[in-house]
Amino acid sequence: MLSRRQALISTLFGAGAIGLRSLATGLPVSFLLNPRRALADLPDGGACPSKAQFVILSTSGAGDPINASVPGTYDDPQIVHSSASSMAPTSLTLLGQTYTAAAPWATLPQSVLDRTCFWHLMTNTPVHPREPDVLKLMETTQIDEMFPSILAKLLAPCLGTIQSQPISVGASSPSEGLTYGGQALPIVPALALKATLTNPAGPLTTLQPLRDQTLDQLYALYKNSASPAGKAYIDSLVTSQAQVRNINQTLLDQLSSIKDNSATSQITAAVTLVQMKVTPVIAIHIPFGGDNHHDVGLATESAQTVSGVAAIGQLMSALASAGLTDQVTFLSLNVFGRTIGPGNTDGRQHNANHQVSISIGKYLRGGVIGGVAPVGGDYGALPIQSTTGEGTTSGDIAAVDSLSSFGQTVLASLGVDAVTIGQEILFGKVITGELA
């Protein structure tokens, strides 16, 4: 029987550790699997025109009260916000526009805020176990595929990742687990990733000899079969021995810093998986208040909003340090939001009509999409005008279609064509005003 370590290595790097060879050489997995065909398919040097990005997705089945602290909820004085000093209403600027939000959001660097968008959406469910359905955009995707799986499937070919399946390093309950093509995927906690990859006999210790061995095996084919354009393309990708040593040490140092399975550790694991080009999509869980039916003075909500925004800031800093700021899009998507109307000072209830997602990425504009209005004794998401992203009762995107429109717009921002978007997500519209 395979050991758990061997099984995890196989999950991360594929059969025969083809992914390790890709990491060690810099050559795409598709090339290593069939180099002769790959050479024949590279008449133009292999350029990829897509806006493809890696995606780090924070998702929660708890129904966090993110929607109680963000821009778009401070214009109506009836909406209840935390009274903690750490959550004081504070002005911030998103791409030149001034908004009010809880103080923690204003602590993000301006360069990050200018790419940060707050999406006021309706998930249309108040039920925790329906998190998988929300990840399927409430069953508006083709063959009920999860949105992170659609992203991974479409992004993998351009990004040249080791696998097309997404990976979850942060699922805190079964409802947060991911599927791909209808099959449940394993969860890879941060500590398990550390234990497997930093082991003295682990796979990262063999990168340099694996590089040399693989390149030696490819040399004859390269010498005799590659066109000048193909040779130039391959040469541009091949990792030097010095680079392999740096990769090895960088990854080991990062993974060794993991102490637990907290949001901080999940972020380290996610950035490391991006650097190794294991998968296009990594799911994490950043707590933002949780299931706070009983939260006296909204104390837990306040504390976790502070720590949650700090975690997002940490992620952005880690991506910048790794030179990945323009190569990774961050998204959040939770099962539902929380009630924000009068009477919510000692906890909040489930809100099927309003959930706020966050996006931070190169190809999505900073700002606010949609808005809120009174619904059934509380507040819910407004319809959205697709050309501007404005929340308005006359918007051409109904609130019930806002979730699928979020999915369509994210796909459009990553370079997916309109025909494919319509095939993958069957309802909603692209919010063209949000595309950078």
pLDDT at 44: 45
pLDDT at 10: 77
- DSSP per-residue letters across 238-268: PPPHHHHHHHHHHHHHHHHT--SSSHHHHHH
Tokens found for residue 288: 């933002």
Q: Which amino acid is at 152?
A: A
pLDDT at 257: 95
* Type and span of the H or E element at 282: strand 281-284
Tokens 């998988």 correspond to what residue? 132
HSE, side-chain direction, 13 A CA sphere, residue 105 = 29
Distance, CA of 44 to CA of 230 (rounded, Å) = 8
93-144 pLDDT, tens digit per residue, is 999 999 999 999 999 999 999 999 999 999 999 999 999 999 999 989 998 9
The CATH architecture one would assign to domain 48-189+261-434 is 3-Layer(aba) Sandwich (3.40)
Tokens found for residue 289: 């208040």
Distance, CA of 112 to CA of 158 (rounded, Å) = 25
From first to last of the 436 residues of the chain, give the pLDDT tens digit: 346 677 777 778 876 678 888 888 888 887 888 887 766 665 444 445 479 999 999 999 999 999 999 999 999 999 999 999 999 999 999 999 999 999 999 999 999 999 999 999 999 999 999 999 999 999 899 989 999 999 999 999 888 888 889 999 999 888 899 999 889 998 999 999 998 888 887 788 888 888 888 888 887 777 777 777 777 777 888 888 888 888 888 888 999 999 999 999 999 999 999 998 899 999 999 999 999 999 999 999 999 999 999 999 999 999 999 999 999 999 999 999 999 999 877 899 999 999 999 999 999 999 999 999 999 889 999 999 999 999 999 999 999 999 999 999 999 999 999 999 999 999 999 999 999 9
CA distances from 374 to 73, 189, 295 (A): 11, 40, 23
Contact, 146 vs 136, CB < 8 A? yes
pLDDT at 73: 97
pLDDT at 45: 41
253-297 pLDDT, tens digit per residue, is 999 999 999 999 999 999 999 998 899 999 999 999 999 999 999
pTM over 0.85: yes
The beta-strand segments (E) located in 29-163 are 54-60, 89-94, 97-102, 116-121
Tokens 């459009």 correspond to what residue? 412
pLDDT at 1: 39
pLDDT at 77: 95
